[in-house]
Amino acid sequence: MLSGPIFGALGGLGRNGARPSWGRDRGMFICEPLAVWPYQRERDFGGTGLLTHYPWMRAGEIGASPSAGAASGFGAFRNSSAPSRATTFVPRVRRKAGMRALVAGVAVVLAALAARGAEAAVWPSVPSSAQLARERAADLAAAEAGVADAQRWWNADESWYNDFLFPQGAATLARLWSVYPLLESLVAVYRAEPSADNLARLQALADPGAGVYWNPSLQPVGGYEWYPGLKTAASAAYYDDSGWWGIAYIDAYAATDDPRYLVAAHRAFVFIVGSGWDPVRGGTWWETGHNHKTIEPLAAALLIGTRLYEIRHKSWYLGWVKKLLAWADANSFNHERGLYQRSASDDTVLSYAEALIIVAQQELCQALKQPLRCAKARQLADAASVAFPPEYWWAPQYDAVYLRWMLEYYTLSGDSRWYALALDRARLVRDYARDPYNGLFTHGWDGRWIADGLEEHAGNTAVLAWAAAAPTPAARRR
């Protein structure tokens, strides 16, 4: 059904705009090159509008920071003309059930025309104490409003969230990737302001969430599914989904000390290493069909396993962590980039996967008293600063993962570059990501509307929440 130049460039971009996966995508698309399609959004529901330019591109294409209007790798094209940042229009599209992947496809075409090797952008700096206090307060207030507004996606009939404000067709409930940044937002808000109300909101999602996506029938071990209620052995599952959910529960445990959340994280880890690991050639599969290997589940398992080892002190976790890391070093490390690429056949480097590995290395360094691991973490962080420069972004839901864990690296190491970057990104969220018509965070960081999805809104909210929750440099030194 999909053909022509745009789909040729789209190349199977899937459920998250990254790679093919029609099974857990929000739907197929009619894609007619250079045609005009209507789409719907809240402010003109029932009518049509123009989709503004919000491309996504491959991190493997990153050279240096983009100039105004240049592409920045697997991030969005940023039109730097202020103040609206919404000046370029592209063809209108019709969302069957997932606008996001089609936008990504259009972007890949535009990526071929992007400038490369532009002068490096200036890295943001940590503001003064007075300004920092104001910004943290603004971030927290916006994050609290964001988690409250997420209830707009609540489906009372199904007692769970919808993926879109205006769901179409079947399978309209929120995928795990959409709820994951919401759970992270609630964790961060509670860490920033540990009140009884914020704890109750966190528990209201975390407690049922561990069961909503759990499929005990998967073989050889149960795992978390991409969609609520999938409970058969024949269901397709994706190991990175279990990774994100496990990470969220690691964070939930760190905030609450609730041991139930460790159980959820352990289940995610066991699914990845017990079902997703290739016992013959090594490496982690992307999905239970064992057709593709990717770095995302491996990176997530590295971090989950490291945290579980630090908390439970069981050598079994550490054994797996070392095994995963050794395989990645031997098979996925891209020496030219100084980072881990997605697979042996795909040299894409993913910002959020790198962040997980960086933090795992730093934590192993400190837990095992092995300074060379701290040096390795620093080398990876330096390489990430080149691959993903200050002007880079991809999309809120993915950048939220990257920023959250680079903030963790800052907390552990004192490298304040990442704190300054997170504050700067949170400022962009406040200034540009909120829809002026409904107040929801459904825009990109250039002010352009993306989709009426929980995933976008929660991703932006998570950036705000973690910026507010991270310790200031002064507090970290105490």
3-state helix, strand, coil in the chain (%, to 5): 50, 5, 45
Q: Is the pLDDT of residue 292 over 70?
A: yes
pLDDT of residue 103: 39
Query: E strand or H helix at 239, and its extent?
Result: helix 239-256
Whole-angstrom distance, CA of residue 450 vs CA of residue 447: 9
For 462-472, the pLDDT digits (tens) are 999 999 999 99
- Of 351, 226, 346, nearest to 287 by C-alpha is 226
For 367-379, the pLDDT digits (tens) are 999 999 999 999 9
pLDDT of residue 417: 97
pLDDT of residue 456: 98
Q: Is the pLDDT of residue 97 over 90?
A: no
In three-state secondary structure terms, 160 is strand
- Average of per-residue pLDDT across 385-402: 94
Q: Is the pLDDT of residue 85 over 60?
A: no
Q: Token digits for 55? A: 């491309």
- Of 12, 471, 462, nearest to 244 by C-alpha is 462
- Average of per-residue pLDDT across 391-403: 94
Tell me the pLDDT band of 204, cut-offs 50, 70 and 90.
very high
pLDDT of residue 168: 85
Tell me the pLDDT band of 307, cut-offs 50, 70 and 90.
very high
Q: Is the pLDDT of residue 336 over 60?
A: yes
In three-state secondary structure terms, 187 is helix
- Average of per-residue pLDDT across 33-43: 27
Q: What percent of the chain has pLDDT over 90?
A: 72
Q: Which amino acid, residue 51?
A: L
For 211-251, the pLDDT digits (tens) are 999 999 999 999 999 999 999 999 999 999 999 999 999 99
What's CA 295's distance to the chain center, in Å?
14
Q: Is the pLDDT of residue 15 over 60?
A: no
Helix 176-192 vs helix 239-256: angle between axes, to the nearest 10 degrees? 20
Q: Which residue's structure tokens are 């730093």? A: 362
- Average of per-residue pLDDT across 281-310: 97
Q: What is the mean pLDDT of the chain?
A: 80
**What contacts 399, CB < 8 A, 6 or more positions away?**
75, 351, 352, 393, 425, 459, 463
For 421-455, the pLDDT digits (tens) are 999 999 999 999 999 999 999 999 999 999 999 99
Tell me the pLDDT band of 170, cut-offs 50, 70 and 90.
confident
Angle, CA of 35, 40 and 41, to the nearest 5°: 130
Domain covering 129-477 in this structure, CATH number = 1.50.10.20
Q: Is the pLDDT of residue 308 over 70?
A: yes
CB 434 within 8 A of CB 370: no
Tell me the pLDDT band of 121, cut-offs 50, 70 and 90.
low
| 381 beta partners | none
Q: Which residue has the higher pLDDT, 475 or 429?
A: 429
pLDDT of residue 301: 98
Q: Is the pLDDT of residue 28 over 50?
A: no
Tell me the pLDDT band of 120, cut-offs 50, 70 and 90.
low
Q: Is the pLDDT of residue 195 over 50?
A: yes
- Average of per-residue pLDDT across 275-302: 97
How many other β-carbons are positioned within 10 Å of the β-carbon of residue 169?
A: 9
